[in-house]
Amino acid sequence: MDSSSFLRKIVVGIVLLCACFNLPAQSVKYIDALKYYQQGDRAEARSLFLEEVRENPSNDAACYYLGMLCAAEPDSRAEAESWLRKAVSLAPGNFWYSYTLALYYLHTDRQELAVPMLETLAADYPKKSDLYLDLINVYLSDNDLDKALATLDKIDAIKGKTEVVGLTRTELLLKRPDANPDSVYAALARYYEECRTPRLASVLGDFYASTYRDSLGLGYYEEALAMEPDYTPAWYGKAAVYQVLRQYDNFFNSLSHVMKDPYVQPEAKAGQVEQLTSNPQFVRTFIDDFDQMMLDLRAAHPADSTINALTGGYYYRTGRPHLAIEVMRQNAEQHPGSSDAALQHLILLYYQQTWQPLAEQATAALVRFPDNADILQLRAIANSQLNKYRSALDDYETLLRIHAKDTTVVKVTCSAIGDIYYKFGESKKAFKYYEKALRIDPDYNPVLNNYAYYLSLEGKRLKKAKEMSRKTITSEPDNPTYLDTYAWILHLLGEDIEAKAIFKHAMLYGGKESRTILEHYATVLEKLGEKDLANIYFNQAAALKEEE
């Protein structure tokens, strides 16, 4: 027992000493000492109590408080015991003095001194059930299950059968080396007949359900709900049984009671729902039930960010991005101080490529989080897609200024700035930023690819372009964009046979969906004299052009 729990345990004794006992008239010095004690001025209280016992050695209450003051000091163990023992000797009939000394023995790991005192007190004060609970804890620390169980029987005799005692006895019986769970829970069932509570019924239901006696388990759950219709553990137990039995109508009906309960921790519910929604086929089969579950969850926890994020993710995975975006918008409004909530909303807008709303919402979020790198980057991307390149550059330059020491941010930002400058026709500035990014990460594929491709478009430094592009297809051999860049550079270097092989590989991994890749491949085929095949790919490219 630590010192804080020891002091909490006996504070009620202080209250009783101050308020309930018929104490003889005390000196002004004692009253002042007690006042300082209650105000938390331990030093002044101790000084006055010491003066009091010097003047009045028989003042048991002053000795008691000196013991309490010393007990709170790690280096005053012997002194604390001495004062408490003196208080007991002066007033042997005072329950709280003896009880406090016994607890202090427990606190200082001297069970051999505490147990006889507690047992004597229990005999003298048989209706004080807290004494028995203390004894049970001591017996358990000594692994004496028989004495602990016998003490529980005494509590039953004093207070009648109670839920706590029934559960504690079951737990202790299960700890026995020869424990037979069926026998233990049969005993609990008999106890339950005289102490019928929803919790005991649910515990019995949990046991029988876990041992595949579903009907018996369901029967106890029903009894629990008959006593308390909204008892969530019983509904949860029923849901688990119906899930095993694949009675999904009953399963979702039972689970809805759990989801509607605002007192169940949302994190616990989220874990359950994440597990259930991990199977897309199961979700599709029972989509209406899952939709209702999400509505119940949000109704129970309308402002919980965990539940909102879970709901938004669910709607997005089930093909309803507009609902997902609305949920995350509301979540961001409910948690205006959370950059994570704002970012979750913005990321969904990014995935949906709704560039104007993304730019507007990012601008609003930056009022609250002006230095957030992710939000700045998302607004810059949105502005780039909206052809607002100057605004995008402003954001990227802010990123470089604020996050100059973050190499990942600098690398990505230099890459984006280079792309914009190339769109402006300022290739020298573009290449300067690409070089800066590659000094941070020489293997950064997005820059290696774009740098190489733009060099190829200008017909400059093709050998350098080839080496950069080769690195990208070495690390990502099935990326059609990188394959196209490398093959096109090979073509420009007159290596059309090698280029053809690379383009053929690109066709297997999405190249046929790109107009540019199809045109490049057709050009190489034409150069090699394969005009009929080249025309096929030119026509496919033209068809894509018409669709765009």
Structural tokens at position 14 = 């202080």
Q: What is the DSSP string of 13-75?
A: HHHHHHHTS-PPP--HHHHHHHHHHHHT-HHHHHHHHHHHHHH-TT-HHHHHHHHHHHHTSTT
Q: How confident is the model at residue 545 (pLDDT cuts 50, 70, 90)?
A: low
Q: What is the mean pLDDT of residues 355-365?
A: 96
pLDDT at site 189? 96
pLDDT tens for residues 492-512?
999 999 999 999 999 999 989
Find out whether 476 and 467 touch, Cβ atoms under 8 Å: no
Asked whether the predicted pLDDT for residue 445 surpasses 70, the reply is yes
Domains along the chain with CATH numbers: 1-109 (1.25.40.10), 458-548 (1.25.40.10)
pLDDT at site 296? 96
For the ranges 119-128, 366-375, 385-394, 514-523, the lowest mean pLDDT is seen at: 119-128
Asked whether the predicted pLDDT for residue 4 surpasses 60, the reply is no
Q: How confident is the model at residue 1 (pLDDT cuts 50, 70, 90)?
A: very low
Q: What is the mean pLDDT of residues 355-361?
A: 96
Find out whether 483 and 503 touch, Cβ atoms under 8 Å: yes
pLDDT tens for residues 202-252?
999 999 999 999 999 999 999 999 999 999 999 999 999 999 999 999 999
pLDDT tens for residues 380-409?
999 999 999 999 999 999 999 999 999 999
Structural tokens at position 200 = 């005991």
pLDDT tens for residues 23-68?
556 888 899 988 999 888 989 999 999 998 999 999 999 999 999 8
Q: Rounded to the nearest 5 degrees, what angle is found at the Cα of 360, between the Cα atoms of 357 and 361? A: 85
26: Cβ contacts below 8 Å, ≥ 6 apart: 34, 59, 61
Q: What is the pTM of this model?
A: 0.69
What's the alpha-carbon Rg for the chain, to the nearest Å? 38
Q: What is the mean pLDDT of residues 155-167?
A: 81
Average pLDDT of every residue of the chain: 89
